[in-house]
Amino acid sequence: MPPYTALIILLALTVLGYWLGRRRPAAFGRKYHSLPGYYGSYVAIWCVFPALALYCLWQLVEPGFIRSQVLATLPAELLELPEAELGLIYNDIRNLVEGNIVSGAPGEEIIAAASRYTALQRMSNLGIALAVLVAGLASSGWALRRVKPTLRARNKVERTLRMLLMAASTVAIFTTIGIFLSVLFEAIQFFQLVSPLEFLFGLSWSPQTAIRPDQVGSSGAFGAVPLFTGTLLISGLALLVAVPVGLLSAIYLSEYANARIRAIAKPMLEVLAGIPTVVYGYFAALTVGPLLRQFGEAFGLGVSSESALGAGLVMGIMIIPFVSSLSDDVINAVPQDLRDGSLALGATQSETIRQVLIPAALPGIVGGILLAASRAIGETMIVVMAAGLAANLTANPLEAVTTVTVQMVTLLIGDQEFDSAKTLAAFALGLLLFVTTLALNVVALRVVRRYREQYE
Amino acid sequence: MNRQRPGPPEPVASSPAARAEFGRRLARRNRQESRFRLAGLCAVLAGLAFLAFFFLTLIGNAYTAFAQTHILLDVELSAAAIDPEGTRNRQTLGRADYQGLIRNALRQQFPAVTRRGDLRQLFALVSPGAGFDLRKQVLANPGLIGQKQRFWLAADDDVDMLIKGHMNRSAPESQRRINDRQLAWIEQLEAAGRIERQFNHRFFISGDSRDPEMSGIRSAVAGSFYMLLVTLALSFPLGVATAIYLEEFAPKNRWTDLVEVNINNLAAVPSIVFGLLGLALFINLFGLPRSVPLVGGLVLTLMTLPVVIIAARAALTSVPPSIREAALGVGASKMQAIFHHVMPLALPGMLTGTIIGMARALGESAPLLMIGMVAFIVDVPESPLDPSAALPVQIYLWADSPERAFVERTSAAILVLLAFLLVMNAGAILLRKRYEKHG
């Protein structure tokens, strides 16, 4: 019996409950409080929730229960093994049951345990299906008995619905809390291995932990400064491209261009925002990188094929539409009176823009640039594909640098254990990235909002 | 907007010197004006030029991937080699050495080649995966056994690159991956009309492979599809429910404020951080398997949720209050007013936002790297619980592959991805247009 049988039973019961509940008030033959559908929903709700709670509870308890029961069948000398080895044996048992590859030939006691596991699993599935059936029947039966013409079914159903809506709105909060906690816990573990001071101010980054003390190149160093400078260098280059181009094109499109050009050029620029970042990364690595190197050779400059410049340029292009649409919003929010007043005093249009519009829109523009910066800092695929892996502490855009996000990806790709400083370092970097971008976002959103309120 | 430059005002200064000075200043200001205007135009053109450059390079790189070089060989499907016992048992047929049959065919084609080293180079002209194709054909039609048949077999990726002109035939031998002897054979085959570029159907029907000529995007597309299915099934109801609560029911207090600020912030959290959450929460804590579309879909759900919520709220606010009031006026409860009257009107807007969110989720790859969706997966997944690749991650993996033939395939996969995004966004725009007309 597959584990989801219980859910199928529950679904069938719910439909039945709805149908019975819906028919019930008509049997009374007199006026009743709510529409019949609400009585149906009332019974269905009572049918679903208790049984579903039971099911979820069982799903939580089941693995531990089966584990303890299966391990109890093992001979005593196996049980005295340390917890980690016991876990391996248990994994073997489960692999045997699921028909996966088992490490080594399974011993007799393992096979016995596996058959015990299968039996328990079958029993557990049957048990939960029965439990759900009984619970669903009992609670919907109780609800059915309560269906009377005076039952305010609509109010009750609506209250439940409202609770569900409210619960949905907390998902976003839980996501934030989840991100923060999951990153924080691993980061704390990391900081027990490596001091936060070394992490934040150390100048050398070579994330590895020695397996033997005499190993060659075993010196792990977790000084993240080269990553910060690399991130800042690439993001700075990106902003250097995106801010002038984005701002000027927003000004041109909103103040100078006629409606036809605007109708064509604006969506075309927005297309840039819709291109997936992995595509930009491919482009940066395979087209822009080699192109820059050829340029460099022509001028006698040694440009690394994974230069910060290439990644920064392409990232800049990616955030152009971001800067331009935000600037467009804030420039359009400046009241027409200010423009008219300036023009009436004899200022040219560019003087009006530079001396009236931009100062008036400045907080909004700055907010937009901060948001763009936060996006550039957190951007991953372009730098993973086009920037280097070596942590160079340099400000030369022609050299290869690495960034926080690149290191997070390289540290976490592939198989890894969760207790080495190497993988935990990725979470420490993640914490830093999350806090930085969060701070930038909060400040930027506040600035933008205050600015909008100023003119509304 | 006023587009006229300010004309020369009535001269205020009376002296000729002052008037000349004024004229000079005005001329300078007008020059500044046109410079500024030109700068703006240049900025717009720069963006558009990049877009054009981008698409031209991409299409230029990609179009050759839709064809694949094939070699025509007369393969002797001898019964002794394929089915020695004559049982036509599918298992026996499946186990036969088809690559060996192809090698024999090559030997017959070039009887002069006898030395072992030369033979190995000769055999390298045909893809190592061609045997699988041959097996498929034999399994589909066992009547072929015992006959000599002409088959178009996929050429190796190096041959493919040579035929497509990505490898210079006149370059010195050491700079080519095809040596002079192989080149001579290829030219003989060409002269005999035995080399042809055919439509590359494998690109659409097979999964990933180490051999570029055998690789395709099917498994990646299927993985992305399942992931989007999970994302859609979760983020749409959750997003709409949140929007309805915040817009229609939530009391104006600090908690609601917090939820709102939080949603706006989540929309700007880097996607890689969601990957960390997925790794720590779904994989480490809940013990869900790695590389499966279900986990990918869950992570993408959390990521797209803010987008959906923001769009759904905008859609709800755009419904005129008169609708709500009319429904309440005739005795509907608040729930009824919202679900029976406001929701149907807001639905197109909500769907538009959801499609845009889905399009973003489709192109996202950074969080998927974190939850192990970068594994080398050949099989096409059959459910959201089978390990699979995703289209953007496949692009990332191919872009990292050293073989030259993967460059065109990467570009082609990008074109496919962009085509999907285009369809989704066009759908969203159409929906919005229709909605605006009715609304």
Residues B144 and A6: their CA atoms lie apart, in Å, by: 51
Which pLDDT tens digit goes with each residue over A154-212? 899 999 999 999 999 888 889 989 999 988 988 898 888 888 888 888 888 877 765 56
What ipTM goes with this model?
A: 0.88
Least CB-CB distance to B46: which of A245, A287, A412? A245
**pLDDT at residue B1, as a whole number:** 45
CB contact residues (below 8 A), chain B span 220-239, against chain A: 237-238
Residue environment code for A43-74, b if the CB has 16+ CB neighbours within 10 A, otherwise e: bbbbbbebbbebbeebeeebeeebbebbbebb
Kindly indicate the confidence band of residue A61, based on its pLDDT and cuts at 50, 70 and 90: confident
**pLDDT at residue A103, as a whole number:** 61
Long-range contacts, stretch A415-418, CB < 8 angstroms, 24+ apart: A418/A186, A418/B284
Which pLDDT tens digit goes with each residue over A223-251? 888 899 999 999 999 999 999 999 999 99
For residue B118, the distance in angstroms to the closest alpha carbon of chain A comes to 35
Q: Which chain A residues are within 8 Å of B37, Cβ to Cβ?
A: 252, 256, 349-350
Nearest CA in chain B to A336: B1
Residue B196 DSSP SS3? strand
Q: Which chain A residues are within 8 Å of B35, Cβ to Cβ?
A: 350
Least CB-CB distance to B272: which of A276, A343, A408? A408
Residues of chain B within CATH 1.10.3720.10 domain(s) are 218-438
- Between CA A219 and CA A225, with CA A220 as vertex, the angle to 5 degrees is 125
The DSSP H or E segment spanning A222 is strand A221-222
Backbone angle region of A147, left / alpha / beta, with phi > 0 → left and psi within -120 to 50 → alpha = beta
Half-sphere exposure of B293 (CA within 13 A, CB side): 28
**Most B CBs within 10 Å, among A171, A337, A411, to test the B interface:** A171
Strand A205-206 with A221-222, pairing: antiparallel
Contact B280 A183 (CB under 8 A): yes
**CB within 8 Å of A304: residues ≥ 6 apart:** A293, A388, A398, A399, A400
Are A406 and A384 a contacting pair, CB within 8 Å? yes
**pLDDT at residue B36, as a whole number:** 93
User: To the nearest 10°, the Cα dihedral for A411, A412, A417, A420?
Assistant: 30
Contact B279 A412 (CB under 8 A): yes
Length of chain A: 456
Location of structure tokens 């679900």: B339
Which pLDDT tens digit goes with each residue over B364-413? 999 998 888 877 878 888 888 888 889 999 999 998 888 888 888 999 99
| Mean pLDDT value of segment A362-382 | 90
Kindly indicate the confidence band of residue A417, based on its pLDDT and cuts at 50, 70 and 90: low
Contact B365 A371 (CB under 8 A): no
Q: Which fold has domain B218-438?
A: MetI-like fold (1.10.3720)
Residue A195 DSSP SS3? coil
Contact B57 A252 (CB under 8 A): no
**Structural domains of chain A in order of their starting residue, each with its CATH number:** 5-151 (no CATH), 221-455 (1.10.3720.10)
CB contact residues (below 8 A), chain B span 140-199, against chain A: none
Location of structure tokens 């029961």: A69
Beta bridge partners of A206: A221
Residue A411 tokens, joined: 């540290």
Nearest CA in chain B to A245: B43
Q: What is the DSSP string of A79-102?
A: HTS-HHHHHHHHHHHHHHHHT---
Residues A341 and A347: their CA atoms lie apart, in Å, by: 9
Q: How far is CA A22 from the centre of its chain?
A: 42
The DSSP H or E segment spanning B221 is helix B218-244
For residue B416, the distance in angstroms to the closest alpha carbon of chain A comes to 12
Beta bridge partners of B73: B151
**pLDDT at residue B252, as a whole number:** 86
**Most A CBs within 10 Å, among B253, B277, B294, B309, to test the A interface:** B277
Residue A89 tokens, joined: 């044996």
**pLDDT at residue B437, as a whole number:** 56
Residue B54 tokens, joined: 């981008």
Contact B44 A252 (CB under 8 A): yes
CB contact residues (below 8 A), chain B span 50-79, against chain A: 50-51, 54, 57-58
Which burial class, exposed, middle or buried, applies to B92 when counting CB atoms under 10 A from its CB (0-12, 13-18, 19+)?
A: middle
Average pLDDT value over all residues in chain A: 85
**Most B CBs within 10 Å, among A278, A280, A328, A382, to test the B interface:** A278
Q: How many CB atoms sit inside 10 A of residue B255's CB?
A: 13
Taking the Cβ of residue B257 and every Cβ of chain A, the question of whether any pair is shorter than 8 Å is answered with no
Contact B269 A412 (CB under 8 A): no
Residue predicted with more confidence, A80 or A60: A60
Residue A101 tokens, joined: 């590859």
Which pLDDT tens digit goes with each residue over A276-309? 999 999 999 888 888 888 888 888 877 777 888 9
Are A41 and A157 a contacting pair, CB within 8 Å? yes
Residue environment code for B25-59, b if the CB has 16+ CB neighbours within 10 A, otherwise e: ebeebeeebeebbebbbebbebbbebbeebeebbe
How do the pLDDT tens digits run along chain B, 439 residues long?
A: 445 555 555 555 578 888 898 899 999 999 999 999 999 999 999 999 999 999 999 998 888 888 888 998 888 888 888 887 777 787 888 888 888 888 888 888 888 888 888 888 888 888 888 888 888 888 888 888 888 888 888 888 888 888 888 888 888 888 888 888 888 888 888 888 888 888 888 888 888 888 888 888 898 999 999 999 999 999 999 999 999 999 989 888 888 888 888 898 888 889 999 999 998 888 888 878 888 899 999 999 999 999 999 999 999 999 999 999 999 999 999 999 999 999 999 998 899 999 999 999 999 999 998 888 877 878 888 888 888 889 999 999 998 888 888 888 999 999 999 999 999 999 988 888 887 655 4
Q: Which chain B residues are within 8 Å of A100, Cβ to Cβ?
A: none
